[in-house]
Amino acid sequence: MQDLGISVLFRGINFQRLLLGLWVTLRIALITIGISAVLGLLFGLAMMSRSRAARAVCRIWLEIIRFMPQLVLLYLVYFGFARLFGWNLDGETSAVLVFSFWGTAEMGDLFRGALTSIPRHQRESAAALGLTRAQINRYILLPQTVRRLVPQAINLSTRIIKTTALVKMINVTEVLKVGQQIIGQFYREPSAAFWVYATVFLLYFLICWPISLLAGRLEILWEGNHH
């Protein structure tokens, strides 16, 4: 029985199906990360803007994504928007929308944190050298912000990848959903569940681990570069 369980993985195109599911996962995650990176910078700038209204909007946005479970947001967009506005968003689009809404705010907050953690003296001693504002941004603030931001942004990216598992709840056939389908088809092999989930686990691990290693490396490489 034990052997039969693991063999399920290699029966037919089961493994390819899992990989295809993984690709759906990654596609959602990558698009989300791309959108969040770009909009996150704008969000971060808005958080630091002089306009109180802009800051308030960001604050509320950030609170919403911090307190609202992702799943509720997914349901709200996927089922709610369809009913309310007659938008028929497919699952993947809904997922990218919701996750980008979340990722943008988180990325923006990281960006703001990275920039504001640079000691005031950095800007001032650059100014004291007679550099223009643009030169200070380019040579002093931007490189130091990037060094602080990138490791954290990478960690956020692994969180986004993990969170995409939720999209199976709105009928997107990503890797976890595929796994469950396979288990369903082979319900006669009780140990199939273990092997399929273990494989899904391994796939997630293989994706997230190197990314997380990279973040750690960068952190060590740049450590002490901020006092």
Partner 1 sequence: MEPILRVKDIHKSFDGTGVLKGVSLEIHEGEVVVIIGPSGCGKSTLLRCINGLERIDRGEILLRDRRISGLEKDMHLVRQKIGMVFQSYDLFPHMKVMDNLLLGPTKALKRSREETEAEAMQMLSRVGLADKAQALPRTLSGGQKQRVALVRAMLMHPELLLLDEITAALDPEMVSEVLNVVIDLAEEGMTMAIVTHEMRFAEAVADRVLFMEDGVIAEEGGPEEFFREPRTERARQFLQSFTYASARKKEKADSGNPGSGKIR
CB of 126 to partner 1, least distance (A): 7
Q: Which two tokens stand for residue 173?
A: 């056939």
Q: How far is the CB of 2 from partner 1 (least distance, A)?
A: 55
Min separation Cβ 130 and partner 1, Å: 3
Binding to partner 1 in span 145-174, by CB under 8 A: 147
* Contact yes or no for 147/226 (Cβ under 8 A): yes
Read off the tokens for 227.
């006092």
Cβ nearer to partner 1, comparing 59 with 133: 133
Task: List all residues 6 or more positions away from 178 whose beta carbon is below 8 Å from its beta carbon.
Answer: 17, 18, 20, 21
In sequence order, what are the residues at sequence separation of 6 or more whose Cβ sits closer than 8 angstroms to the Cβ of residue 40?
Answer: 103, 104, 105, 106, 107, 108, 110, 111
Q: Which of 90, 135, 205, 220 binds partner 1 (CB under 8 A)?
A: 135
Q: Among 16, 125, 220, 221, which residue interacts with partner 1 (rule: CB under 8 A)?
A: 125
Using the minimum distance from each CB to partner 1, give the nearer residue, 148 or 168.
148
Return the range that interacts with partner 1 (CB under 8 A); candidates 70-78, 121-129, 163-171, 210-218. 121-129
Both structure tokens of 151: 């490791």
Interface stretch with partner 1, choices 79-87, 104-112, 136-144, 211-219 (CB under 8 A): 136-144
Residue 51 falls in which region: left (phi positive, over 0), alpha (psi -120 to 50) or beta: beta
Q: Which residue lies nearer to partner 1 by CB, 145 or 164?
A: 145
According to the binding rule CB under 8 A, does residue 217 interact with partner 1? no
- Alpha helices by DSSP H, listed for 137-191, are 142-163, 175-185
Inter-residue contact 116 to 149 (CB < 8 Å) = no
Q: Does 227 bind partner 1 (CB under 8 A)?
A: yes
- The DSSP secondary-structure symbol of 224 reads T
Determine if 127 is a binding residue for partner 1 (CB under 8 A). yes
Residues that bind partner 1 (CB under 8 A): 119, 121-122, 124-133, 135, 139-140, 143-144, 147, 222, 224-227
